[in-house]
Amino acid sequence: MAETCVHNYSNDQLEIIKAVLYFEIFEYPLTVDELYENSAICLSRQAFDVEFQKLLEDTILNLSGDFVLSRNGKEQFIIRRKNGNEAACAVMPVAYRYSKKIASFPFVEGICLSGGLSKQYYDEHGDIDFFIITKPGRLWLCRTFLIIRYKLLPKHLKKYWCVNYFIASSNLPIPENNVFTGTEMAYLIPTVNYEIYESLLQQNLWYKKRFPNKAVRPNTNCIATPEPWMKRLTEWLLNGRFGDAVDNWLLRATLKHWRKKYPEMQEEAFELQFRSRKDVCKRHTKGFQNVVLGKWEQKQQEYEKILNTLTV
């Protein structure tokens, strides 16, 4: 929140408020237990309850049934969340099934679910987002195989094959150390190769500053990486210098295509939305991360004014 303030709320209380505001960007109210997990505070649960109760008493936050709302929160958010939770439970078996299919493609080492589904939310406009970890030096070959398969899918199945983030197992640190990326990291659901999921978290421990109270996902329904004969054969054929050359060419060709398609995009925005390196490929055309961070900052500023007004 803004540095200039006259209210007397503690930093821990402000962090609790900020967690509520962040998830309200997505119209997704948290339960009290979830609020504790998502607050950037190093407090015991008992100490958290004391701070939280103070915010309720001052009507800074409101409790509606099991869910916490800000002063601007709406009851319809709760209905939306419950419906989304039910839809997520229904589609989760599909997500695991498609994870296995994707993991059977050449050079895939591990897979996690990200996006809304990783927060147990899904609706008629949703899709299944996959965070894919590839073998070193073959990320662009891996991505190309999966994109070709995506283009061959019927239109109604494409939402189950959203492969927009690839990272090589040789370089797992994520450079954007902000609340958006930290939230995605904390909520990843490992579906293929639990060991590499653990390695990913270990090499991005910065996210724990934002989520000191959130536990790591357990090894539930996470399978070992499939190794069908076609996958093994393709990887053998594309081993060595020939595979290196093809992978490098695909990187250059894809980057050239994106720069030609979005010539007006500033370099900083292009890097954020179309990060293309030998060991990472990130494609988010609508700048969603910046949109979310901007809305969160705006919500914090608006709430700062509310707090100051109540104090005066």
- pLDDT tens, 92-133? 999 999 999 999 999 999 999 999 999 999 999 899 999 999
Which pLDDT value is given to residue 114? 95
The angle at the Cα of 120, spanning 21 to 287, to the nearest 5 degrees, equals 55
Closest C-alpha to 125, from 92, 158, 93, 159: 159
Residue 5 lies inside a defined structural domain of this protein: no
Residue 4 lies inside a defined structural domain of this protein: no
The C-alpha atoms of residue 107 and residue 134 are separated, in whole angstroms, by 6
Computed on alpha carbons and rounded to an integer, the radius of gyration of the chain in Å comes to 21
Residue 103 lies inside a defined structural domain of this protein: yes
* Helix or strand run (H / E) with residue 281: strand 280-282
Q: What's the structural domain count of the chain?
A: 2
Whole-structure pTM value: 0.91
* Helix or strand run (H / E) with residue 239: none
Same domain? 62 vs 122:
no
Same domain? 72 vs 204:
no
Which pLDDT value is given to residue 312? 45
Q: What residues have CB less than 8 Å from 112, skipping those under 6 apart?
A: 118, 130, 131, 133, 188, 189, 190, 191, 197, 200
Residue 287 lies inside a defined structural domain of this protein: no
Same domain? 272 vs 133:
yes
Same domain? 68 vs 174:
no
Same domain? 124 vs 265:
yes
- Residue 15, domain extent: 11-77+292-311
Query: Residue 267's pLDDT band (boundaries 50, 70, 90)?
Result: confident
- The answer to whether the CB of 15 falls within 8 A of the CB of 40 is yes
- Burial profile 14-31: b = 16 or more Cβ within 10 angstroms, e = fewer: bbbbbbbbbbbbbbbbbe
Same domain? 43 vs 173:
no
Average of pLDDT values for 46-53? 96
Same domain? 199 vs 302:
no
